[in-house]
Amino acid sequence: MISSSSTWPSPAKINLFLYIINRRYDGYHNLQTLFQFLEYSDELIITPRSDGKLNLLTKINGLSNDQNLIIRAAKLLRNNLPKCFDYCGADIELKKIIPIGGGLGGGSSNAATALVALNTLWQTNFNDHELVKMSIELGADVPFFVNGFACFSNGVGRLIHPAYPKEKWYLIAHPGLNIPTSKIFTDPELTRNSPVRSFEDLMSIPHTNDCELIVRKRFYDVDRVISSLSQYSPSRLTGTGACVFAEFETEFSALEVQRKIPDWITSFVARGVNSSPLQIFRSDFMNSAK
């Protein structure tokens, strides 16, 4: 076990497109979506313990520690270990900057970072394939964050294929809402009949998000943000949350528009990247530990 404290990135993501094919018999939806990471991350500060205690030092409003995906991920990892690893524990502090309910995958990313980091710090030596199989239990987006590469996803998030979209700059705007995924996917007016298309066909047409129409209809502030950003650049919803992104070729262009948008819109600028900041950090961390 590596006993010293270390700080691990937990990156945000965007859905460059999202199409809903149908609703499955189990209530989940079959999707086609393209994930890309952002160079914009929460941080998990982790100090391993040798007494088996798992402590989340940062309180999240409305969630007990046992409900939090970070602790659930830590327990899931330990439950897949032999009994002799019951001594493995950790104190974990979360530094949160990814908006909650914004569609940027913050909770799923936190869970993935906990899995990857503790697997490294506890020296439990699961490979990424094994961690991905575990992570399915934590949520549909968690395998993407564990895999660590931009991907095209079919189905309910378990069929993922590496992808290499252009690494553009994005102005991400948040209207201050927390939109639960379940609220969108249970809406009776949600579009659920997009045709199944090949990745090549999807990349050749303008990107859209099937959730956007219903989110704009139900949440006026999201509609206002999209209308505001669309004056300057193609803009759309990411995932099922409240965040909207506008795309740019350069950081300068994104920052220039950020200065022009109304003050009531909370925003940040970040680059889209195809390799996860978490996996890059893990590689550097392991090399430095040798």
Instruction: Please indicate if the annotation marks 89 as binding a ligand.
Output: no
Q: In 3D, which of 108, 111, 120 has the Cα closest to residue 73?
A: 111
Instruction: Please indicate if the annotation marks 101 as binding a ligand.
Output: yes
Instruction: Please indicate if the annotation marks 239 as binding a ligand.
Output: no
Count the neighbouring beta carbons within 10 Å of the beta carbon of residue 279.
19
What does the alpha-carbon distance between residue 90 and residue 74 come to, in Å, rounded to a whole number? Answer: 9
* Dihedral of the alpha carbons of 180, 182, 184, 186, in degrees to the nearest 10: -160
Pairing of strands 151-155, 159-162: antiparallel
What does the alpha-carbon distance between residue 240 and residue 213 come to, in Å, rounded to a whole number? Answer: 11
Instruction: Please indicate if the annotation marks 106 as binding a ligand.
Output: yes
Give DSSP secondary structure letters for 123-140.
T----HHHHHHHHGGG-T
Instruction: Please indicate if the annotation marks 241 as binding a ligand.
Output: no
Check residue 196 and report its DSSP letter: P
Active-site residue list: 13, 141
155: CB partners within 8 A, 6+ apart: 30, 31
Instruction: Please indicate if the annotation marks 105 as binding a ligand.
Output: yes
Instruction: Please indicate if the annotation marks 104 as binding a ligand.
Output: yes
Report yes or no: 163 and 152 within 8 Å, Cβ to Cβ.
Answer: yes
Q: Could you tell me which residues are annotated as the binding site for ATP?
A: 99-109
Q: Could you tell me which residues are annotated as the binding site?
A: 99-109
